[in-house]
Amino acid sequence: DEKFSFKYSPGKLRGNQYKSMMTKEELEEEQRVQREQLAAIFRLMREKSDTFGEMSEGDMKEQLRLYDI
């Protein structure tokens, strides 16, 4: 009998593994780029509200919580 062990590792845990391998400078750069990308995404969504719908500040904060920001 072979036992199969599958340990579920959500994305957040895998992300933390990457963070532990980064230098402080690399981590700061990664966070800066992430903030810039999210800002660009939300700016686009605001400009294209006819496509994406209206988004309140509360909606944006809820979305940011999904990304642990």
Q: Give me the chain's average pLDDT, please.
A: 77
CA distance 32 to 26: 10
Q: How far apart are CA 28 and CA 19, in angstroms?
A: 10
pLDDT tens figures, 31-43: 899 889 888 888 8
pLDDT band at residue 29 under the 50/70/90 scheme: very high
Residue 64 amino acid letter: L
Contact between 69 and 38 (Cβ < 8 Å):
yes
Residue 68 binned pLDDT confidence (cut-offs 50, 70, 90): low
Contact assessment for residue 38 and residue 64, using Cβ atoms and an 8 Å cutoff: yes
Residue 4 has pLDDT above 60, yes or no: no
Is it the case that residue 64 has pLDDT exceeding 70? yes
